[in-house]
Amino acid sequence: MKEKNILRLANYFDHHEIVDLTGNVDLILLHAYENMEIDSFQDAARLFYIYIDEKRESTEALNGLAVCFFEMEQYDHAQTIVDHALVLFPNDPVSLSNKASLMWQEERYDEAVYYYQKSLSADPSMIESKVNLINLYREIGDLLLAYTLCLELCRTNPGDSEINELLNSLLLDIAIFMH
């Protein structure tokens, strides 16, 4: 591990639990995701940077870092990281989904739809991209597309109560719209 990273890790773990990372840089990634789970996005971002210094071509770290910036409302930084990830991994479904989320946040709806669809083309089983696309269609008023996609998602995940709740909510929206 590079000397500067050892110093940064020492500073990080000086304020947190002591963990032996000797020879196991993957523990850095694990700790970064653990920090995300407790909404400690700044600490997670620091760890993602260290991990990226060691393993530059990691979609997990690049996407984690982009999400940290997104959650900290530093959208320009998130965009830069996602764009870099897509240069390295143009068909990575998570990077494509993150790009779509950034486009949606900027109210660039056509581009958001495009990137969610591209994410689903790369990995049709990505439920998060489907749910986000459903919610995007709903937000822009395309209830029929939202309903159709949600119905498909219910068929492939019949026991998922959140998806069933989303479908029922869409049906209510459609009923209100029809009145």
Which DSSP state fits 1?
-
- Total structural domains in the chain? 2
Residues of the chain with pLDDT under 70: 1-23, 56
pLDDT at 179: 82
Indicate the residue among 89, 105, 127 that finishes a domain: 89
All residues at 6 or more sequence positions from 67 whose CB lies less than 8 Å from its CB, including other chains: 36, 41, 78, 98
pLDDT tens-digit map of 54-70: 876 789 999 999 999 99
pLDDT at 93: 97
pLDDT tens-digit map of 83-95: 999 999 999 999 9
Global pTM?
A: 0.82
Please give the residue range of the domain that contains residue 128.
91-179
Pairwise CA distance, residues 78 & 84, whole Å? 10
Indicate the residue among 24, 57, 89 that finishes a domain: 89
The overall average pLDDT reported for the chain is 88
Pair (156, 85) in one structural domain: no
Helix (H, G, I), strand (E, B) or coil at 2: coil
CA gyration radius, the chain: 19
